Amino acid sequence: MNQKDLLLRLLKIAEQFNMDQKDLPSLLVKTTILSLKYIPRRHVFEALFPDQYADWELIERCPPNTNPLGDTEPWLELLALLEWPSMQDKDTEHSHPPLAQIKAALRANNLDLPGWTTACRVLILQLIQGLQSMHATEQLTARSLSRNTRENTVHFLASLCDTKHTPETYAHTLTHILSPQHLHINTQLLAYTMSIINAQREERRLNLRLKSLQMASLRPRLRDKLKTSLLTEHNREQVDSKLGTWDSYTGFCHTHRFPNNLSDRVKRQLYFLAAQNTWEWQPHVSRLIKFKDVETRVQERPVTQPDSAILHWVIDSLSMDGKPPFPEMMAFKARCFASFPVVYTQRLTITQIFRLYVAAYQPQSVWKDVWKAQIGIISPQIVRDCEAFVSANPFAGERVVEAMVG
């Protein structure tokens, strides 16, 4: 495994448990805390990140003896990014017995290096769920010392069996070593790796776009299909122009004469707002665009026959991204998922619930299509539950606009 694969796994974990994906150094520490055993994980998490959120209900449903990151190899890659260069010897030995014991045992078995980095890494590996202490410690020491450490590791682990510590003691020590004043994270390597991931994603998107254009130009059926699709969109634009309407996305953009430097993302978000008919969206237009004349035109001309594909695109781009769930969304989950299989609802992330909540409040003519595009499951009972909920509960529009603005 390399650093790119590790970072992709971390981003997937952040999305699954609704943790902030932008702060990569904190994400490393949070993933470590979520994977610990024998200690009160939530207590350590809240001590280090008092103002940040994670979906503990979903975390505690994970199978025992497993961790979200995987086996030994990704953990060794993660620990390679963590160092402890500023910890004081005397204070650490007296205040944190588990770490002092590991340090002494490493020194006695010729496995130690200067500083506390090796001892801290060994302590974390021993407390990760689903890892074999023997294999993980051997791999860590063999790589750091560049020699065979199997026999030394056996003696090292045997010497640790003499003294046990309470979960509270371990929690206190881990809070100490994972705190920002002691832990040093290689942020430059993280930023460099993330730039590679973003560049590869953009290259993949452009290649797929180029390939689709090549296929459409070389194969008659696809060429004709593309021509028909473009002709249909052109016809819709012409109809919009003649009738003075703006229901199609192309006609919407043409009618409002958006500035050339306005991104397609913002245009789609404005179209999404203009299509809403279950809540007062007009005051929020100014948060997306600062041109007063365009803002006024969008506010005065709602979309009456919206394109469900554009609505789905905007909803699919929404994310909670480390934000706690709000009461309206949790009430929606409690009321509208009764007909879903229990196993399925237990695996739904907060972001998925949020997107379904927004989909249920779309215009009556398209909300079922948008819902199916999000989840692929719909039934008469789901329709009845959602429509009854929407008619009885006001929409949390402010939350949606916050997610759109980012």
Alpha helices in 219-291 (DSSP H): 220-243, 249-256, 264-274
Mean pLDDT of 42-64: 91
Q: Which residues pair with 185 in a beta bridge?
A: 82
The answer to whether residue 245 scores a pLDDT higher than 90 is: no
Q: Which of 140-144, 259-263, 378-382 has the lowest mean pLDDT?
A: 259-263
Across 345-357, average pLDDT: 89
Residue 184, φ and ψ in degrees, nearest 5: -115, 125
72-118 residue pLDDT tens: 999 999 999 999 988 877 777 788 899 999 999 999 999 988 889 99
pLDDT category at 230 given cuts 50, 70, 90 is: very low
- pTM of the entire structure? 0.80
Least confident piece of the model among 113-117, 225-229, 317-321: 225-229
- Tell me what pLDDT residue 111 has: 92
- CA separation for the pair 160, 104 (Å, rounded): 10
pLDDT at position 341 is 79
Position 294 scores a pLDDT of 85
Instruction: Give the closest residue to 337 by CA, choosing from 379, 374, 303.
Output: 379
> How does DSSP classify residue 286?
G
- For residue 107, give Cα distances in angstroms to 112, 115, 230, 241: 5, 11, 72, 80
Q: Which residues contact 17 (CB under 8 A, 6 or more apart)?
A: 34, 54, 55, 58, 59, 68, 349
pLDDT of residue 227: 45
Instruction: Flag whether pLDDT at 263 surpasses 50.
Output: yes
Angle at 199 between CA 193 and CA 202, to 5 degrees: 145
pLDDT value of position 175: 94
Interval 381-388 mean pLDDT: 92
Rounded (to 5) percent helix, strand, coil in the chain: 65, 0, 35
Contact 127, 75 (CB under 8 A): no
Q: pLDDT of 271-316, one tens digit each? A: 999 999 989 999 998 899 888 888 888 888 888 888 899 999 999 9
Distance CA 331, CA 21 (A): 26
Q: 145 and 111 in contact (C-beta within 8 Å)?
A: yes
Look at residues 23, 170, 7 and name the one whose alpha carbon lies nearest to residue 81: 7
> Which residues, 6+ apart, have CB-to-CB distance to 312 below 8 Å?
369, 370, 373, 374
Q: State the average pLDDT over residues 44-56.
A: 92
Mean pLDDT in residue range 123-151: 92
- How far apart are alpha carbons 358 and 289 in whole angstroms? 22
| Chain mean pLDDT for the chain | 87
Q: Taking 60 as the threshold, does the pLDDT of residue 187 lie above it?
A: yes
pLDDT for 188 equals 93
Flag the least confident range among 126-140, 205-219, 257-271.
205-219
Q: Is 206 helix (H, G, I), strand (E, B) or coil?
A: helix
Going by pLDDT thresholds of 50, 70 and 90, the confidence category of residue 13 is very high
Contact in structure between 345 and 336 (CB atoms under 8 Å): no
Would you state the pLDDT for residue 200?
87
Per cent of the chain over pLDDT 90 is: 53
- What's the average model confidence in pLDDT over 248-268? 85
In which band, very low, low, confident or very high, does the pLDDT at 361 lie, cut at 50, 70 and 90?
Answer: very high
Q: Which amino acid type is present at position 335? A: R
pLDDT at residue number 231? 45
pLDDT at 233 over 60: no
pLDDT for position 223: 47
